[in-house]
Structure 1
Amino acid sequence: MMTRRSALAAPLVLGACATKPQQTQWQQGQQAVTLDLPGSKAPLRMWLYLPRGYRDAPAQAWPLLVFLHGSGERGQDLDVVKFHGPPKLAALGTDYPLILASPQLEADAKWDPETLHQLSIALQQRLRIDATRVLATGLSLGGAGVWDWAVAYPQDLAAIAPVCGWGDVKALCRARAVPVRAYHGAADEVVPLAAQQASVDALRACGGSAELIVYPGVGHDAWNPAYQDPELLPWLMRQRRA
């Protein structure tokens, strides 16, 4: 298990009263942040990645990608959020052309659409974010969280990319305006492929746009090939909310 980085000893705190970016506090690259959200009992821990050129282009608005981790990364150790997906790749040097927010759940908690909605609002108040290009991806429990967010607040999102996730098929028509690029392993025994296939089918039946990429022989760790897909980032970058 990785130990906490020194950045966590004195994390950057974004207060609820801020109305514009406090650019002097933020650094290029990935950093530990705590964010106070309305209605939350405790600050939300997260990794925040600012792209190259953010500080040098004060008039530019950037896409926002929110990454939701799985059940194994919950708790108090923020470093575990970087075990998989975009925060891992950012830590390894991937140069993302967007702002990346990777929050962490408390132990035994689940992703709450209201919290994610408030997170999107708070980040837009504090960072130069293009409100028409808010995107979300997540794996396993986080994949389910992405589907639930799209159902509860479809107006928040330009697109989602759930990996080995699942949604509430009875409610998915509410998310029909949100494009989906989903991923799953055909041999997944933790979250069966049928669960996400049913979600994609339900969205399509409502007139939504949804694609499902299936990896033959791959189990629950479909996030490994999914986040290496060379088409994923370009697809996300093309999406805009009407």
Structure 2
Amino acid sequence: MKQEFYTSVFFGLGLTLVAGLFQSWLHFQAGINMYTLPSFQNWFLAMSFISLITSALLLTYYHHKNYHAAFWTGLIAGLTTFVSLFYLFLPTLYPIFRKHPDVFVFIGVSINLIYAVSLLVSGSGIRPWLKRAGIVSLMLCLAHLMALGWFMYVPAYPVNAAIDSVRQWLLLAERIVPVLFILNFLGEYPNAVKDQADTASFNRFHTAKVMLVLAGMYSLFLSLYLASENYDLSHISPKQNALAQPFEKGSYISSRGDTLLYRLLKPVNYDPGKRYPLVVALPYSCWPDNTRQIDACPMAKWLSTDENKKKYPAFVFVPRCPPQTGWGGVANTPSVAGLAIEAIVALNKTYSIDYQRRYISGVSRGGYGSWHMVGMQPQLFAAAIPVCGEGNPDQAKNMVAVSIWAFHGAKDVNVPVSGSRDIITAIKKAGGSPRYTEYPNAGHGIWENVIKTPGLLDWLFAQKQLDSAKSTKI
């Protein structure tokens, strides 16, 4: 093999090792939340690009050495990795993957297991370090298959801590494999042939190295972003603390022992002798603490401004959404909506709340929750403002008596606009008169448009449940 090949493959394997160690560190730091970091998708694509180029160099090596079994099984394993990118980032092309994810993970691990065996039993087995790489890979594949069987009947959500811990250690152990490959090539490098006599070969491997260098520089840039995002994930910023200060901390413990943490903004100059509206403001993000949900709750921030606190004295209830959960209405995600409703009812025993003027609003995840909670307990709410959410048309008949003003962007790629259109149509068919505002040129981030809606808060606080006897029951 040529010297330029060895320098290229060294660089590819070195990048794979360093990037893999960084990702393992990040995984231990952030846990499953690593995958939710804004830069992680770009990082994963960059790592996949590096892996594909490095795999192509390894295949070239197998082909040159006539390690046919390793070449063909390695090629199939590489193609499987390429297809997995479509599975992860373009799921609409392969909807069947979403129905049977474990099946495809099993297929991928099984193919890599065969590839590992080929390093042992084919001609490549004469190379000691390749043989050891095959042994380690085989053990890791078997461990992955055992983990799949072990957790076969464990729901995907919420993420089980034991599953994530097993994944963390298995992925860290995988970093041994590129080390073994590097040791194999270090043993061969002294016998490498200089490239000057073969310009085509030199250019081919040099191009691969240049692409790896560029990918490595981009990965370094992304790693700095990921480290910063991980810090933000685990630390409360001064801004988030300041936003939460006007809201008192609270907690609700159900008869079953389940706990819901929340923040509560009291009306200005609260007088227990008067009754005040209650606004349930659902955040769109999940946090382990009882502080940062305010920053993730646009309605709460809007109502906590000095102007709105004076103009619309009300209780603003902001429950915390525990990590890996939701407010209902989102498939495959556990809901704490029932617990939140219990907490809302419990507030009636502590504070002077107007039962006829309880409202709910949320954006994105909170928009889903607004639709879901109104559908579950319509007698609890006089009005709702769901933003960029999706309602269940089967619950439409329950929402007829609730005043609703929904908002959505026509170009929303996070939550399809049909999520609002369909439920609005269903409520109208059931006899209701919901309001609906759609922004034809907007996507998911429409909150700044929503708060510019003339008279929106005036409309909200003017809504009352007509059947006061029914509203006082909960």
In structure 2, do the counterparts of structure 1 residues 75 and 161 end up closer, same or farther at CA, with 3 Å as the change threshold? same
User: Letter of the aligned partner of 1:35 in structure 2?
Assistant: S
Please report how far the alpha carbon of residue 223 of structure 1 lies from its aligned counterpart in structure 2 after TM superposition.
2.2
Residues 1:49 and 2:273 are matched in the alignment = no
How far 1:171 moved relative to its partner?
2.1
Matches within 5 A, 1:85-164: 85-93=298-306, 94-95=308-309, 96-111=312-327, 112-164=336-388
- Residues 74 and 126 of structure 1: is their aligned pair in 2 closer, same or farther, counting only changes over 3 Å? same
Q: Could you tell me which residue of structure 2 aligns to residue 12 of structure 1? A: none
Deviation at 1:87, TM superposition (A): 2.2
Q: TM-score, normalised by structure 1?
A: 0.82
Alignment equivalent of 1:63, drawn from 277, 291, 297: 277
Single out whichever of 114-123 and 154-163 deviates more from structure 2: 114-123
Q: Which has the higher contact order (CA 8 A, sep 6+)?
A: 1
Would the aligned equivalents of 2:260 and 2:340 in 1 still touch at CA under 8 Å? no
Q: CA offset at residue 108 of structure 1? A: 0.7
Q: Is the 8 A contact 1:63 1:130 kept in 2?
A: yes
How far the C-alpha of 1:226 sits from its partner, in A, is: 1.6
Greater Rg over alpha carbons, structure:
2
Judge which range, 152-161 or 225-234, deviates more: 225-234
Matched, 1:165 2:377: no
Q: Whose strand proportion is higher, 1 or 2?
A: 1
Superposed CA RMSD in Å reads 2.2
User: Please, which runs of 5 or more residues in structure 2 have no aligned partner?
Assistant: 1-231, 328-335, 467-474
Name the structure where helix makes up a greater proportion of residues.
2
What fraction of aligned residue pairs are identical, expressed as a percent?
Answer: 27
Counterpart residue identity of residue 82, structure 1: I
Mapped partners of 2:320, 2:276: distance in 1: 22
Displacement of 1:39:
4.0
The answer as to whether partners of 2:299 and 2:362 remain within 8 angstroms in 1 is no
Alpha-carbon shift at residue 40 of structure 1 (Å)? 5.5
* Whole-Å separation in 1 of the counterparts to 2:339 and 2:452: 28
Do residues 237 (structure 1) and 461 (structure 2) align?
A: yes
What is the Cα deviation at residue 91 of structure 1? 5.0
Distance of aligned partners of 1:40 and 1:105 in 2 relative to their CA distance in 1, 3 Å threshold: farther
- 1:37–1:118 Cα contact (<8 Å) kept: no
SS of residue matched to 1:30: coil
Contact 1:4/1:77 (8 A) holds in 2: no
Q: Find the aligned partners of 1:49 and 1:80 in 2 and give their Cα distance.
A: 15
Q: What are structure 1's unaligned runs of at least 5 residues?
A: 9-28
Contact 1:133-1:241 within 8 A present in 2 as well: yes
- For the residue of structure 2 that corresponds to 1:79, the secondary structure is coil
Q: What's the CA shift for 1:151?
A: 1.1
